[in-house]
Chains A and B, each alone.
Chain A
Amino acid sequence: MSTTPGTRQPTSKLAINRLRDRRPLDDAAVDRFLARHTEVPVVEGSRCTFLYRGEADEVFLAQRIVGLPELLPLRRLRGTDLWYLVLELPEGSRVNYQLEVRRNGLVERINDPLNEKLSYSPVGTSSVCFGHGYVSPEWTEPDPDARPGDLMSMTVRSRALRRDCPVTVYLPARFRRTGSYPLLIVHDGPDFLQYAAAKTVLDNLIHRLDVAETVVAFLHPHDRLTEYADSTAHSRFVTDELLPRLETELPLAATRSGRCLMGSSFGAVASLSTAVRSSDTYGSLILMSGSFVFTDIGTDHGGGEVFDPVVKFVNRYRAKPTHVADRVFVSCGVYEPLIVPNRSMVPTFESAGMTVEYVEARDGHNWENWRDRLRDALSWVYPGPQKLYYE
């Protein structure tokens, strides 16, 4: 039977198990094994083999897949310094992880030295495992054919927040002062730009006609855990200070259907709470992995003090859902603990008469998940003119 170069014929026996059967099982065998498997974790269908090589007392896979213990022990391959763990990951999964290595009483959390793939976030990097079938969307990579839009800086003096608020404004490539553009306001703007490739994604999706030419305002939070946790001051800043300024200075549609608030995690809470305080202003919301923690009874939500105002807000909203936008895009990773609250919010939003588009991904609470959902979200909220082009 011939084998196409670069592909591996499926066998029932995993590579790690074939190695276990090898005799002699020594360092040279491990060397050869690692030389053959340059992509680590070794992905064989739905089974992913995580590896660590080195002296240690214990090695754990540290991850935050809801339903799994946060630390999963790797086993040492007898007679060698190779540690391994086989984890079943459904098709299309993407998992951020680190390795916890314990040696001589010392505990060290490290990125996987055998895996070059990293996930970036404001709190640092972690390794990432692409499960079978996961492909990083090509529209998240710079496309030389896509005309780039411009980023410009502005500062809005906010009486509500009592500070100067920097805002980064994205203008699409063919921006004209005489045009008329929908507006997207993005919470955690710098993080969306840096970790979710927001500018590249906008350039590409607009170029491909998937998304309408849109002006985007990226907000820079100061103390996001306060400002984004159902803060009246933040809502006043966005609706009463920022929005009028943008609509005065830029050629925006300035209609409800042409205004959208977007955010992930606490940013999603900020988007919803801003819309709740001004229910006639925004036509759409994009809520990614919203921190919509709530309690059905009692106050023990388990999220810590910073979640107290969030839980109060979400409990209040769930008790009396109101129509705060016409369309709501909700997404969440099935591996993140927030999956249950997010699923629960879908019927809540629908009960208020809002049209909801709900998308789940086999991913976690991270920026690549939110980046990968941007096409679904933006093309649903502001569909591009594909239907109008006939070359």
Chain B
Amino acid sequence: MTRTVTLLGPQRRPNLQLVVRDVDPNAAIAFVTAGWQERETDDAEMREVLGGRGVNLTLHTRWLELHERDREYAHAEREHDLVLAELRELYLTQLDHALRATYGIATAKQARPRVTRVAMRDALEVVRLIDVQHLERVKEVQQAFYDAWRPGERPEIARHRDEVATILKDADAVVIAGGHVGELTRVLHLFQVGPHLPSFVAAWSAGAMALADRVVLFHDFVPHGVAQTEVYTEGLGVVHDLVPMPHVRRRLRTDDLVRMSVLAKRFAPSRCLVLDDGARVPLAPDGQLPEGARVLNDEGQVEELGAA
């Protein structure tokens, strides 16, 4: 299926209406606000933007309901979350050391730049390896959980999956809002939204992140804890070779070119796509970024594609 995907920046100054106007006015548009968690159904504004044809998949509400009705699964999922949290903690410990080493090498004033370049390449390889291995471990743990608990065979989950699939089948488009990217990704996977996505997809902020192959978290200004940019989990894999990065100016030290450069190189050949306020990035049918899309370059600067 050829899919039209548009990635958007935060909707503080909404531009979603410019995207959905291309959808058949008589067609239904499914939407996901699960990232808003308990505010999921405060969706009047979204319905208005969608011209009254929006159908909320209410994935967060379904998940809460599932937890109430299938306590055994809820308990298992809690345990599973603890395993993932432990895995993440260990990964962040490794990552923190590796990235600090990388920054140290990047800022080292050595007499022979060639030596530094080689050391930098090696350091980046270590970081990439840690990222790749972590994602593999997460996938293994997820798979083990699904194998053990077989969500599709549990009546409550199966019912919700069927309902979601039916809504998506009748929709021409799906819109995915931002919010808590962890909770959003969890329910998108659990209720199998990915396999039933219609041909037109628009998503912003956390929604855009969830569409990628891997979800990458970043925030340089957390009061404490490890602020290193991290690979969190597997995304829906709708868009490839992209790391969507909303709120870059608010969340990253963009003036620290060493860190920004490491960030860009670490995820290469994937591109770090800057999705600040007002961004609207319609991907080409083959998934390529359009001219004008803003990405991080190897020097750690934000540049527009196609700019001379």
Q: What residues make up the interface of A, taking CB atoms closer than 8 Å to B? A: 174, 176, 178-180, 210, 251, 253, 255, 257-258, 357, 375-376, 379-380, 383-391
Q: Is B181 close to A, CB under 8 A?
A: yes
CB-defined A-B contacts under 8 Å, sample of 19: A178-B67, A178-B68, A180-B78, A180-B82, A379-B224, A379-B225, A385-B182, A386-B222, A387-B227, A388-B180, A389-B180, A389-B181, A390-B35, A390-B179, A390-B181, A390-B209, A391-B10, A391-B178, A391-B179
Q: Is B217 close to A, CB under 8 A?
A: yes
Which parts of B31-71 form the interface with A (CB within 8 Å)? 35, 37-38, 64, 67-68, 71
The reply to whether A387 and B82 contact each other, CB–CB distance below 8 Å, is no
The reply to whether B223 and A375 contact each other, CB–CB distance below 8 Å, is yes
Bound Cα distance A385, B88 (Å):
13
The reply to whether A257 and B86 contact each other, CB–CB distance below 8 Å, is yes
Bound Cα distance A372, B227 (Å):
22
Bound Cα distance A387, B35 (Å):
13
How far apart are B218's CB and chain A's nearest CB, in angstroms?
Answer: 7
The reply to whether A385 and B180 contact each other, CB–CB distance below 8 Å, is yes
**3 nearest CB pairs, A to B:** A383-B225, A380-B224, A178-B67
Q: Mark B269-281, 1 if CB is under 8 A from A, else 0.
A: 0000000000000
The reply to whether A253 and B82 contact each other, CB–CB distance below 8 Å, is yes
The reply to whether B224 and A387 contact each other, CB–CB distance below 8 Å, is no
SS of A interface (majority): mixed
How far apart are B297's CB and chain A's nearest CB, in angstroms?
Answer: 22
The reply to whether A391 and B205 contact each other, CB–CB distance below 8 Å, is yes
Chain A residues with CB below 8 A from B182, complex form: 385, 388
B contact residues, total (Cβ < 8 Å) = 36
Chain A residues with CB below 8 A from B198, complex form: none
How far apart are A327's CB and chain B's nearest CB, in angstroms?
Answer: 11
Bound Cα distance A388, B185 (Å):
11
Q: What residue in chain A is nearest B230 (Cβ atoms)?
A: A387
The reply to whether A255 and B224 contact each other, CB–CB distance below 8 Å, is no
Q: Is B95 close to A, CB under 8 A?
A: no
Chain B residues with CB below 8 A from A386, complex form: 219, 222
Bound Cα distance A29, B181 (Å):
64
Q: What residue in chain B is nearest A375 (Cβ atoms)?
A: B223
How far apart are A40's CB and chain B's nearest CB, in angstroms?
Answer: 33
How far apart are A375's CB and chain B's nearest CB, in angstroms?
Answer: 6
Bound Cα distance A384, B182 (Å):
13
How far apart are A342's CB and chain B's nearest CB, in angstroms?
Answer: 19
The reply to whether B74 and A389 contact each other, CB–CB distance below 8 Å, is no
Q: What residue in chain A is nearest B220 (Cβ atoms)?
A: A387
Chain A residues with CB below 8 A from B232, complex form: 388
Q: Mark B68-94, 1 if CB is under 8 A from A, else 0.
A: 100100100010011001100100000
Bound Cα distance A14, B95 (Å):
53
Bound Cα distance A386, B225 (Å):
11
The reply to whether B89 and A174 contact each other, CB–CB distance below 8 Å, is no
Q: Is B246 close to A, CB under 8 A?
A: yes
Bound Cα distance A31, B178 (Å):
60
The reply to whether B246 and A390 contact each other, CB–CB distance below 8 Å, is yes
Chain A residues with CB below 8 A from B209, complex form: 390
- The contact of B222 among A257, A258, A357, A383, by CB within 8 Å, is A383
- The contact of A390 among B68, B74, B78, B206, by CB within 8 Å, is B206
Q: Is B247 close to A, CB under 8 A?
A: yes
The reply to whether A388 and B178 contact each other, CB–CB distance below 8 Å, is no
How far apart are A173's CB and chain B's nearest CB, in angstroms?
Answer: 9
Chain B residues with CB below 8 A from A257, complex form: 85-86, 89
How far apart are B112's CB and chain A's nearest CB, in angstroms?
Answer: 36
